[in-house]
Amino acid sequence: MEINDLAPRPAAPAPTTLDTAALDGPALDTAALARAVRGPVLLPGDDGYDAERTGFQLADPHRPAVVVGAAGADDVVAAVRFAGAHGLPVAVQATGHGLAAGTDGGLLITTRRMARVTVDPVSRTARAEAGAVWGQVVEAATPHGLAPLNGSSPGVGVISYTLGGGVGVLARTYGYAADHVRAVDLVTADGRLRHLTAEGDPELFGALLGGGHGLGVVTAMEFALMPVARLYGGQLVFGAEHLDDVLAAYLRWTGTVPDELTSSVALIAYPDLPQLPEQLRGRHLAHVRIAYTGSAERGEQLVAPLRAVGPRVSDDLREMPYEESHTIHRDPSDPHAYDGDNALLSDLDAAALRRVVRLTGPAAPAMCVVQLNHLGGALAARSGAGTVGHRAARYALRVLSPLQGDDLGTVRALHAEALAAVEPWRLGRSVNFLFGRHGERPDAAEVARSVHDADARRRLAALKSRLDPRDLFRFHPAAAATRERTPAVA
């Protein structure tokens, strides 16, 4: 889907000034910090501060007292030790796509300079540093006939995506990206750089993969690559007159397709703007996205029931090299402001989905992009060491709205009403699809609890108590699940 031009671009964040002397702890000796790291150390008012703190998500950017642009793992270690010595909470940003809560004060570590990716075609593995994005991994892997378990957008950061589980283009065939991680390099609150594997530290290693927000700063990750060189995929796009029939057919169809087929449907009510292509302008459309690892001939047979619904606005299903997989979803590439929520569902019926469509369509008080992902397949298998929640979910329903001005309250109310329509099937939330400052909502505790079950939250809380008793890492709604009261673990 292309929503880059649907709304005016928000202005760049205004310069921020903070009274660092008012922070608790000793005076900030940032000159010493600057001598200890290779990357830049920036304070409010410095040249480059505003650009460094701003990522893809332009709503509610970080406003830290100190920014460290880490050039390597040693810089991360120095920054964490500095934050601990001065009592500064720590946040981390690579690309800022999934920014869940901006920091006010504290220390922000940006990892965009740590972007090295290496591929070992013999072991079918890749190693990505903390600032690497999926497009880099795809580019490095595809010459060897290999594919990572990347998401739909090539500009999304590898690390945060994987820590949240990672539902990607090949999700139903191979499962969560987190299930295929081989090793993690992590800086913990004590300033130690640890190399973690399932064999060496199964408790912490498993906790990171699906629940790692709030336990440290990942500086690099090694993960498996899949033997996939090409796909049959693309989009079937239907007009408003076919929406009800398309959605009913899609729900029936997802009960029949093999695990080798991963799909989703996006519902977008496009505004009537001159910068939009003619075939999109002012229309309410359903984009059915297909990624199938089998033959094109079999793919054509599998999608026949969807094509039978009626004429398409466009139909570009084709065989493609894996490096073109980003063209299936056509996610926006320009930074913008947005907010989003989601529900993981045990099932869904057509009547409830029709209600979601009515609530979020052209008559809605704010523009809303609705996406229904078909889950199951390898995603349901507990093959990995991680703590990804709600694996039994059959669907993920996502709602996202671009923000213009002070319309967050309207957007949140719209999202809540839309998700209420699927409440009978709701299992919880996916942390990967939470966008915006959900950690400060009135129901923030419920948001955190919805990501993991009670047993996983207890295990995460015990690790948090042992590894980060002062709560150094805190700026993520999922991290609240690690802060439930639990006895300290020796």
From first to last of the 490 residues of the chain, give the pLDDT tens digit.
Answer: 444 444 433 444 444 444 444 344 446 789 999 999 999 999 999 999 999 988 777 677 889 999 999 999 999 999 999 999 999 999 999 988 776 666 788 999 999 999 999 999 999 999 999 999 999 999 999 999 999 999 999 999 999 999 999 999 999 999 999 999 999 999 999 999 999 999 999 999 999 998 877 899 999 999 999 999 999 999 999 999 999 999 999 999 999 999 999 999 999 999 888 888 888 889 999 999 999 999 999 999 999 999 999 999 999 999 999 999 999 999 888 878 889 999 999 999 999 999 999 999 999 999 999 999 999 999 998 766 688 999 999 999 999 999 987 688 999 999 999 999 999 999 999 988 888 776 566 666 777 788 888 888 898 999 999 999 999 997 555 555 555 543 332 2
Written as six digits, the tokens of 151 are: 């998401």
What is the C-alpha to C-alpha distance for residues 341 and 396, in angstroms, rounded to an integer? 11
CB-CB neighbours of 152 under 10 Å = 22
The tokens for 296 are 């094109």
Q: Name, in order, each residue with C-beta under 8 angstroms of 22's C-beta and a sequence gap of 6 or more.
A: none
- R_g over Cα of the chain: 22
How many helices and strands, by DSSP H and E, does the chain display? 13, 18
Strand stretches in 244-313, DSSP E: 261-269, 284-292
> Can you give the pLDDT at residue 96?
80
Q: In what order do the strands lie in the sheet containing 107-110?
A: 41-42, 66-69, 107-110, 90-93
State the Cα–Cα distance between residues 221 and 219, nearest whole angstrom.
Answer: 7
One-character DSSP codes across 343-381:
EEES---HHHHHHHHHHHSTTSSS--EEEEEE--GGGGS
Q: How far is CA 74 from CA 28, 69, 127, 262, 291, in A?
A: 20, 12, 17, 39, 40
Q: How far apart are CA 280 and CA 283, in angstroms?
A: 6
Please give the pLDDT value at position 379.
96
Q: Using CA atoms, how far apart are residues 337 and 435, in angstroms rounded to an integer?
A: 10
Which distant-in-sequence residues (6+ apart) come within 8 Å of 264 by Cβ? 288, 289, 329, 371, 372, 373, 374
Instruction: Name the DSSP letter for residue 63.
Output: B
Beta bridge partners of 110: 69, 93
Map tokens 């009800």 to a residue.
244
Q: Are 340 and 415 in contact (CB under 8 A)?
A: yes
pTM: 0.90
Structure confidence at residue 21 (pLDDT)? 41
Is residue 303 classed exposed, middle or buried when 0-12, 13-18 and 19+ CB atoms within 10 A define those classes?
Answer: buried
28 in Cβ contact with 306 (< 8 Å):
no
Burial class (CB within 10 angstroms; exposed 0-12, middle 13-18, buried 19+) of 308:
exposed
Residue 10: DSSP 8-state? P
Alpha helices in 224-278 (DSSP H): 243-254
Q: If DSSP codes are grouped into helix, strand and coil, which group holds residue 175?
A: coil
Query: Please, which residues have CB within 8 angstroms of residue 306's CB and are 6 or more apart in sequence?
Result: 236, 246, 249, 250, 253, 288
The continuous run of DSSP H or E covering 136 comes out as helix 134-141
